[in-house]
Structure 1
Amino acid sequence: MDTKIIEMAALGRALYPGMLYDCRNDSFIPGITLWDKNALRDDIDVLDQTKTFVKLAASDSVSDKANLLNVSASLKASFLGGLVEVGGSAKYLQDSKSSARQCRVTMQYSQTTKFEQLTMKELGNIAYPKVFEQKTATHVVTAVLYGASAFMLFDYSSSESENKQEIEGSLQAVVKKIPTISIEGQASLKLSSEEKKLAENINVTFYGDYELDENPTTYTEALRACKKLPGLLKDRNSKGVPVTVWLYPLTLLDSRAAKLVRDISLSLVSKTESVLEDLAQAERKCNDLLRNPITASFPELNKSLEQFRELHSFYKIALQKSLVSILPNIRSGALENKALGDILTNHGMTPFTATNMSKWLDDITTQLNVLTSYTSALKDVTFVSSERLFNSILYDPNVDSVVSLTFTSLKSEDPYLVGVRSFVYSDALANFGQPITKAFSYPTTQPWFTSLDISSRMRQNLTLFTSFFKTNINNSRIKFVVASISDPSNPGTSIRLYQSSTLKDPKFQPVSKPAAPVVGTSDGKPLVTLSKSPTGETRQFIIEYRNTQPTDSANDLAMWKVITTPDANTSFAFSDLNPLQQYWVRYRAVGTLGVSEPSDYLQFSFSGMVDFTMSQWNLSMPSLINHVRTKIMTNMGFSRWSSSTIKSEVSNIINNPNLTYDGAIPGGMKVGTALYFQGTALKTGTSFEMNVRAGSWSSGDYTFFAYFKLGESMTFNTRRGPNWEASENVSSCPITKGSAFDMFFVVKQEGWEVNINGQKVYLFKHRLPVEKATTLGIYGDIVMNTMGTVSNWGNSTFGKELAPGISRTMLSNVQSDVPYPVSNPQKNYNGKLQVAVKPGLVFFFQGVVPSDFNCFAINFVVGSDIAFHFLAQSFGMTYNSCRSGNWENAIQIQGSPFVKGSAFDILFFINSTGYEIIVNGLPFSTFAHRMPVENVNSIQINADVFMNNFSIIDVDKVNIKAKIPANV
């Protein structure tokens, strides 16, 4: 190797002029010199070398840290091999991030003060020449640059929900401002509110050559320390510590001296650094997995990670010992660079390559993610993390049965760790300098969590367990737990039943949600046909029924009346039901243990001819309302379009589906198709949602999700498995409480177009392939009259009407398919009645609200007076009467069931006390008579409305015979 002077970083070591240094193992030799102390003290040149600089770095790699300290490749190899013991600020080299979620920015502050060098006179006057013969050193320190450095490490631990890249950018911006803040109080002025919040959660680590009263640990303390650093050396009259030294080859002074034969190949130094970086990265990832909260709940995985970390540490130490033994021999010429290459080749044949470690850690990560997704909805269930805890539950005298969702594949012997353990304790690692003849082969066994069959079974078990838990949570004699017990015969998960502290069934199947009931008649009575639970053994049924619309309220549960059958007979006949009422019925299966969740409810009414008097009429008679309404309307309800248009252009029609609805989409979805919905929002409702998805409701991929908060807002989104993506929000909703709606979800090339009541309200751009969507889900506070699919949207009547973008305005041709329209915004209606008005009549109106409407009115007229003024506006309703030209006391109602662009129908039931008003099939309000109803002789319809139909029905002539089921 060429005899040249070497410039080298001191790295906190006590290196001074005249010291001997051995470059073969990068160590200095104290107590032995070539010159006497007096000569070294007196014959030294001293020069001022005052400089100051500040640097910021975001990387945490050894290479970048070495660059900040001006560490050469050769010295870096010695550091990596453990030959060099660093001190002072250089200890920064040893500090690596412990977590992959850790964001770090490093600030370096450095000063240089003095430069000292030996004179040529001293180089010629060697006092102790025997040093050359001893061959303990290769170089002598001839010059030293003094100064000081400080490294402040600013760390922030980001959570899984935070964007690590964004946090790192913000962290760098906060640290970058430190030199610009002259006094501590300015920090509050220089930092934004978000930056202040970030600064409060920063941890600071200090490595320096400065003597501080107290090392900073927070951002504020770091700010204070930074202001002190520039003056510390001057205040203490100190030149600092050695920063850089120059080494002179001893062979230039005497050929007998030991010499540096060769240096370590740069490419091998780079490869060594890469290997150690891979090991450090694996350690960080392992640490993160151990910190994952779910790991503590499953001791098997925790044990595997701890074992990996221990074996990994053992291997890293062994590798560094190998480096320690060969690096000096390469530099002395005893070995070639090939010896280091052989060690790196050996490393590539071990279980500790980046590929092997990453694959195993990725598999563990996947297992933890699977466990998290399967247990995230079970926060109220006890997680059994030890045998002691499990036994305390099994032997609890207050518990009769323990139902356990058990993960059965976590205790299997890990083949990778078996191989790692075998290698670590083998002769191959003990003699790591010798070639390894057989490379480690990563196990090819299929992990349990990648099996589709196991995954399908796990999903079914989770659904069964969750449903059974939620239904029986209040049964104090049943305890629900999540545990991990090895059971190769039931891979993945199983539901295990323990009774009397003993395992009774390792594959327990609890009763689950049965099919919806079917209602018929027998001997004039409603007969309910039930179905046994699709899982488990059904021993009885619990039948629940009511005569009011069910809601999701917790208080609503008390409204159900309950009948328990004596056995599992699937037929049950009701008695003592009021034939004038509508009813809702559902049921549960009773198993050997516990009960199932309720079936979907069914709405029904019954009986033949019904006798009633006018005094019985009120808004709580939905069967009567329904019957009168359906006498006029088709079974599809009223839409903006005629029933013939809907029947001819909408395919796969479903009328009056039960909600919650969850069913297949016949033919699937593709660009150019659409889903059609016609329904009514409940007057007492708050919201509803729809989803188009692939897979189950709980964990499938939602290709398109729409959530409507009545009269307030709309939210659109997608979901991949259990994970929601970024939502898109609209701060209005054209569907209000009690309003009817026509809605289309149209699949366009660019996304899902949502049309409501003839208006395009939103375009949600595609995120997931629409072709994979197979299922439609509907849930919430609506009544769905009709739904289906439109196979060719562009050529359909619906698509052509919506294309111009002016659908349903006051000037549009809304009534083109109405044979005899009553009125429109340009043509009001004022007609004499041909019948005598009396209690027992029903006035029926059906029409469409223009998309640019302000209000419309229906007046029940008595000569020049108005007996009942019905005024509909978008924000509310007004009822009044007008006598002799003077308006009387107005009644104001907040909120309106009439929304822009929607179809509607109104029933005015007239009884002896007033008008009962039904809008869109739902009871809305009443108005008491102010003038004798018998005097009403004409009807007026005016302002912003397309009124398509107006009829009068005499209820006395209506045959009240409803079919079973008959949905409102």
Structure 2
Amino acid sequence: MGSKVAMNSFRNGGWQTEEFASENPFKKGEAFEMFIVPKPEGYQVFVNGKEHYMFKHRMPLETVTALNIVGHINANLFGFIENWSIPSFTKESKTTITSLGSSRWGLSTEQSEVLHPVQNPILPYVGTIPGGLRAGMALYLQGVIPTNADKFAINFKTGQSDKDDVAFHFNPRMGSKVAMNSFRNGGWQTEEFVSENPFKKGEAFEMFIVPKPEGYQVFVNGKEHYMFKHRMPLETVTALNIVGHINVNLFGFIENWSIPSFTKESKTTITSLGSSRWGLSTEQSEVLHPVQNPILPYVGTIPGGLRAGMALYLQGVIPTNADKFAINFKTGQSDKDDVAFHFNPRMGSKVAMNSFRNGGWQTEEFVSENPFKKGEAFEMFIVPKPEGYQVFVNGKEHYMFKHRMPLETVTALNIVGHINANLFGFIENWSIPSFTKESKTTITSLGSSRWGLSTVQSEVLHPVQNPTLPYEGPIAGGLRAGMALYFDGNVPTNADRFSINFKTGQSVKDDIAFHFNPRMGSKVVMNSFRNGRWQTEEFASQNPFKKGEAFSILIGIKSDGYKVHVKGQELFMFKHRIPLEKVTTLNIKGNVSISFFGFIMDK
């Protein structure tokens, strides 16, 4: 960093002649993406959309078998692309947003295209504005204010250096005002202030900054915040800078922004949001005003109020140290407001339900069966019916709590306690048939979006993200030939071993039809367990699992056995010892981080 880019080769125990690129596109604290393209003449390097260098071959391509990455870099994702071409590479990056809003405010960039989206940038961030800034565009930014935040700033600049002018400096200061200014010819100009500050410590937000002919129009959480009149021409603005105490989830520019498209009701069409080990799905259901990873305690209005036929959908995980949590349907957002329905699972005990009226709790009702377990994922629906609140947990009806207060008095939702809520939102016109449809996720892109790349669309049935291990769950519909199990994961640097087990049941005594057991620094072992005993071990000739490295696994279920591919290469075929129709359960345990798994069916 701060110097050249060096390129070389190493052969017969020694480094060869170095080559240098004088332009270094890699900057400290900045995100990047790159392609290295092996061509007949050499390695062609692209960084941030621009061809950087061609390093001519010194060794035959066919002798290259391994990739090594070392040094000071945060690698978010890497992988290989078949049939790469310049045209597919140079497509303009854009993401179609159905809803990315912290949708408690009813915002939506519904069907708007965010160009050149940047996710989780490392701050301070500075980068060019593709095509320059012009009226009619909008900067969209979604983030969270850390609990220890002091201030942050968004700067529209005439260049990327510290000395360049700032046409618009937007500077929220926590617990104080929002300051706005410009910086020209080496000095700050006259500050302007907004006394109302919508940014709060520990809270999520979303905002738009819209360059208009007269100035920069700022919207925060669905409300127009300020208009900062131009002090410098728009056409001189070429760079965006973000600094300070802010966690930015995503930002990008929208072309042809308009108030009507901005104020449409927020909704997300869900293909699958289930912890889909139970085969649930809100497939093709629209979750209105979805909220992802809310900071608890959460309290917010129910858009349009509560009414029969709606459903609250919530997906989450119970922490391993959890005590209890509660979901409250309230008549208002203050602590003194009535609670029409208090749903209160207590770990290792019962599920309590109650109401709170006129300053006091009423008669508790209990469910002795508690489906919430420490360390386990769950999904649930609470469905207001004419007679009461119907609760479903993990695909099973759990309880009906009869109304004690009229539905029309309920205006707010409150979530408190020991729970990690991944996502929640309301579904209109909920019904049992739509609820029990098979869960599936169409994967359209797992890669870098700047150049519009995409993986082939595959349907993963019953996807599970970031499962808590050890994991054990039923295989929906049972195991059959023609299916495949897909995993994405990472081997921790301190890993010893892990295993994936196809079992005939969920108890420790049940048979294991296929035990896949990579051991770090050793072999990959495969076996079966029947009638209380392990059988003859089989071994793979190579072990592709390395400490600290990511991997993908595809286990194809064939009529003759389990065909295992790791990182795109066939590893082993383990022939059946127990009939497929007896396999009902998947088990994962050991030292491994699984980011995603699910079943794929042949089309």
Instruction: Give TM-score, length-normalised by structure 1.
Output: 0.25
Indicate the structure with greater strand content.
2
Instruction: Give TM-score, length-normalised by structure 2.
Output: 0.37
Greater RCO structure (CA 8 Å; 6+ sep)? 2
Please identify the structure whose Cα radius of gyration is greater.
1
